């Protein structure tokens, strides 16, 4: 029976040891998890690899520019024959003129707005400077009021 009680005692000691180490192990685990989820850690540890990964991620996330194809008249006619397409004038010249007119109006509006803001700024500056610089009051006979003698 001594053997069983000694093994039970040993098992209890080991369990106490495991429980006491569990708190420390959990703190270490939490700290390691915090470090592993911090992106600054990876940049400090491997800056060139991080830069390459960021460039690759940016390349994959940014969509590529659409490719425009401008077929000639014979290619359009061939496509129309095979696919029963009807080609109509979409009025690109009207859109082009409208966009050119709108861009001119936008440019003129921006210029006028900037000029108006400049004039307004100068007026506000004059008002502010006028309120802070108090002119010395003198009377027609040349006397200066008593409160300006300070």
Residue linked to tokens 């006397």: 143
CA 114 to chain centre: 26
Residue span of the structural domain in which 41 resides: 1-63
pLDDT band at 143 (very low <50, low <70, confident <90, very high): low
Q: Considering the domain boundaries, does residue 18 fall inside one? A: yes
pLDDT band at 87 (very low <50, low <70, confident <90, very high): low
Residues 96 and 59 in one domain: no
Task: Output the pLDDT for position 90.
Answer: 63
Residues 58 and 96 in one domain: no
Is 92 within 8 Å of 99 (Cβ atoms)? Answer: no
Q: Say if residue 126's pLDDT is above 80.
A: yes
What is the distance between the alpha carbons of residues 71 and 76, in angstroms, rounded to a whole number? 6
Q: Considering the domain boundaries, does residue 15 fall inside one? A: yes
Share of the chain above pLDDT 90, in %: 3
What is the distance between the alpha carbons of residues 114 and 103, in angstroms, rounded to a whole number? 16
Residues 39-78 have pLDDT tens digits of 888 888 888 998 999 899 888 888 878 888 787 888 877 8
Q: Considering the domain boundaries, does residue 147 fall inside one? A: no
Residues 17 and 59 in one domain: yes
Task: Output the pLDDT for position 127.
Answer: 83
Is 35 within 8 Å of 41 (Cβ atoms)? Answer: yes
Task: Output the pLDDT for position 139.
Answer: 56
Q: Considering the domain boundaries, does residue 123 fall inside one? A: yes
Residues 6+ apart with CB under 8 A from 86: 80
The number of domains in the chain is 2
Q: Say if residue 86's pLDDT is above 50.
A: yes
């Amino acid at each position: 029976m001594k053997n069983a009680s000694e093994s039970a005692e040993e098992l209890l000691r080991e369990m106490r040891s495991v429980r006491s180490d569990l708190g420390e192990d959990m703190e270490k685990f939490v700290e390691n998890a915090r470090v592993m989820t911090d992106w600054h850690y990876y940049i400090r540890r491997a800056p060139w690899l991080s830069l390459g990964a960021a460039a690759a991620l940016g390349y994959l996330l940014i969509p590529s520019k659409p490719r425009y194809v401008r077929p000639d008249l014979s290619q359009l006619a061939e496509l129309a024959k095979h696919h029963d397409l009807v080609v109509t004038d979409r009025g690109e010249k009207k859109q082009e003129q409208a966009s050119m007119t709108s861009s001119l109006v936008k440019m003129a509006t921006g210029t006028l707005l900037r000029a108006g803001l400049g004039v307004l700024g100068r007026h506000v500056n004059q008002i502010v400077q006028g309120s802070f610089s108090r002119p010395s009051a003198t009377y027609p006979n040349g006397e200066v009021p008593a409160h300006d003698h300070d």
